[in-house]
Amino acid sequence: MGWNYTDKVKDHFFNPKNVGRVDDPDGVGEVGSIACGDALTLTIKVDKNSDRILDAKFQTFGCGSAIASSSILTEMIKGKTIDEALKVTNQDIADALGGLPAEKMHCSVMGREALEAAVADFRGEKIFNEDDDEGRLVCTCFGISEGKIRRLAKENNLKFVEDITNYSKAGGGCGTCLGDIEEILEEVWGAEIATQKPVKKAPKKLTNLERIVHIKEILDSEVRPMLQRDGGDLELIDIDGIKVIIRMVGQCSGCRASGFTTGWIEEKLREIVDSEIVVELNEET
């Protein structure tokens, strides 16, 4: 089965608040990249007299946790002054959702970074984090520096390599930097660092019927509406165990990006329904 989400996360995933872009925004924050699988744009409207955030909206290309984290963040900062909003931490975002799976904490970090970027843009400042620019580039897959790893470890009390991956994605690509991350954590925490993480309990397996119902629900409520906005759509051809066979139609049929779209759909279904799901594209017309 996929991640164990709270009802609050599911609500903000299926019914996200403040989606879109603020008209004539006073601040724009863009973080992440589609190449890394997560990208977030946060726009804010600010009352110049009181420095209070009047409106906030987001656009994201990411997983359910990214959508939920962005949605709750906009609700949290609306009505706050800029200084009050900057006090919102990534842990505050996760707590407001009733908690996030450990593997998805990087989504709350991305929300916090988008807020910082939007405020910097509003103030006419260049976003610059001295810690993040310190040291060498450790994770080339996701562009994570030694300084950022150290900062995340200290701010969130992270003592395991797996935690760093959960909060930043560092080490979640090719994996060649895992040894470097462990060395950095040993330097930060010294003898306090443990060598192993506690063994997690295996999630409850879905029945075939439950899996089919969940797959159809996600495709109809989340995936197809996004494709339809661009004149495309998909047809569900078959569900055979963990194999989901789809056909792209409309503007999506024959699109060069169909392989990328299929991967995005697969990631969503793996996250929400079953981590072993495989999506196959039927190109027959």
User: Which amino acid is residue 209, in one-letter code?
Assistant: L
- Catalytic choice (63, 107, 139, 177): 107
| Distances in whole angstroms, Cα of residue 30 to Cα of each of 66, 85, 166 | 14, 17, 20
Residue ranges of E strands in 20-73: 27-33, 38-47, 52-61
Q: State the Rg of the chain over Cα.
A: 20
Exposed e or buried b per residue across 31-49, where buried means at least 16 C-beta atoms within 10 angstroms of its C-beta: bbeeebbbbbbbbbbbeee
Q: Who contacts 220 (Cβ-Cβ below 8 Å, separation ≥6)?
A: none
Q: Who contacts 7 (Cβ-Cβ below 8 Å, separation ≥6)?
A: 98
List strands edge to edge, sheet with 38-47. 27-33, 38-47, 52-61
Is 36 a catalytic site residue? yes
Is 177 a catalytic site residue? no
Angle among Cα 68, 63, 20 to the nearest 5 degrees reads: 60
Q: Using H for helix, E for strand and C for coil, what is the string for 195-256?
A: CCCCCCCCCCCCCHHHHHHHHHHHHHHHHHHHHHHCCEEEEEEEEECCEEEEEEEECCCCCC
Q: Who contacts 187 (Cβ-Cβ below 8 Å, separation ≥6)?
A: none
Q: Who contacts 71 (Cβ-Cβ below 8 Å, separation ≥6)?
A: 12, 13, 16, 17, 18, 19, 58
The catalytic residue positions are 36, 107
